[in-house]
Each structure stands twice: as C-alpha cells, then as structure tokens.
C-alpha cells in the first residue's frame, strides 16, 4: 500500500503522460491505496475514482510516499450475502450482511478500504467505511459521488437480503472488527 505525504502525480504508464493527482487525504482520512503491479521505479495503484477499478502509475523516486503492508483482506460474496474478514489468510469471522437491491446493486470487483468516517451525530451507523468503488446505477447519493461503503444498520431484519442503495450493511460485531482493518486494505466483491 502507498500513502502520499504530498500530492503525487499519477501517470497513464511508466514514463507516460500525467493524468491526475493522488491527494494526501480522501473523505477526511489519510489516502492509502493498494499496489496492483510493480515495475522498476514505478507502482501501479488502484484508484478511488470512476470508472471502477481504474488504475494509475506512480513514480517511486518521489520523496512523498510512505509504504506499508496490510495482512488484512475483506471478501464479500453478494450471492451468499456473506462478508469475511481475513488476517494473513486466517478468517477472523464471516457474517450475513445486506447488499444492494436489484435496481441499485453493489458493484462487484476489486476495491479497497478508502476511509473511515465516524459521524458526530450518527443515525444508522456509528462508523461508515467508504470503499474505493462507486455505484454503477447512481451518480450521486447523500450529497456525494455515489461512493459505496460498509456500515452498520440498526434493524437486523435486513441481513441476508438485497435492500440497500449499493452499500453493504453489516452487523455491529462485524463493524467493530472492520474498524481495525487498515485503510488501503484490499476488498474483493464477487457476485
């Protein structure tokens, strides 16, 4: 995983033209992104932008990068309504969750834990964990760009059902465990 301590330029390919910048923070949290490919002096990173699963290359010789390793991985099986948290390949637990409704499905594919938001006055969840993926059907939601996230839900009757606007609703125990997963950790969502 990489974290920029200064705004970093992103490139189409190693040595190619610049296309964007990677900010220091995302949604009030430090930006941590997973590395998906490495070449000498360059890393290809997964980006929290549309289209989903977009990548960019970052030059490693810049002084403004911090690297880390996360042993955590979150796996979400949409068809089974199951979320599993793994640490170093060992399951920390697997829970029944709620996923996106037919009209607003949870997007499948590779993503990552983007941010951690603890609302001052929580309504439905004490913690919201946005992912680096966006709804395929909603361009905006709740004033934001349609970012999909993991969060709690007060009514346990929703678990095991496709009822959300694309987010994955999780039990309170699951949310406590997810709160310890480092930002930038991979999340794999399968249909």
Task: Give residue-wise pLDDT tens across range 4-24.
Answer: 999 999 999 999 999 999 999
**Burial (Cβ within 10 Å: 0-12, 13-18, ≥19) of residue 163:** middle
Other CB atoms closer than 10 Å to residue 128's CB: what's the count? 21
Q: Which residue has the tokens 């950790």?
A: 185
Residue 147 has pLDDT above 90, yes or no: yes
pLDDT at 142: 82
In the structure, what pLDDT confidence band is assigned to residue 57 with cuts at 50, 70 and 90?
Answer: very high
Instruction: Supply the DSSP symbol for 106.
Output: P
Q: What is the mean pLDDT of residues 128-139?
A: 95
Task: Give residue-wise pLDDT tens across range 80-131.
Answer: 999 999 999 999 999 999 999 999 999 999 999 999 999 999 999 999 999 9
Q: What is the CA radius of gyration of the chain?
A: 17
pLDDT at 166: 97
- In order of their start, the domains of the chain are 2-67 (no CATH), 72-190 (2.40.440.10)
d(Cα 165, Cα 126) in Å, to the nearest integer?
18
Give the H or E element holding residue 129.
strand 128-134
């Amino acid at each position: 995983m990489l974290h920029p301590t200064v705004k970093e330029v992103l490139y189409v390919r190693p040595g190619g033209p610049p296309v964007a910048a990677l900010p220091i923070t995302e949604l009030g949290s430090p930006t941590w992104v997973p590395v998906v490919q490495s070449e000498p002096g360059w890393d290809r990173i997964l980006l929290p932008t549309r289209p989903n699963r977009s990548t960019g290359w970052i030059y490693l010789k810049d002084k403004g990068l911090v690297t880390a390793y996360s042993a955590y991985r979150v796996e979400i099986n949409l068809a089974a309504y199951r979320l599993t948290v793994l640490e170093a390949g060992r399951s920390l637990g697997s829970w029944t969750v709620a996923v996106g409704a037919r009209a607003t499905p949870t997007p499948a594919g590779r993503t990552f834990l983007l941010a951690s938001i603890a609302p001052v006055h929580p309504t439905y969840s004490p913690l919201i964990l946005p992912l680096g993926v966006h709804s395929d059907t909603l361009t905006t939601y709740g004033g934001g760009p349609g970012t999909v996230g993991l969060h709690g839900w007060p009514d346990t009757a929703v678990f095991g059902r496709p009822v959300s606007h694309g987010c994955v609703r999780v039990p309170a125990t699951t949310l406590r465990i997810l709160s310890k997963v480092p930002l930038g950790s991979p999340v794999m969502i399968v249909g």
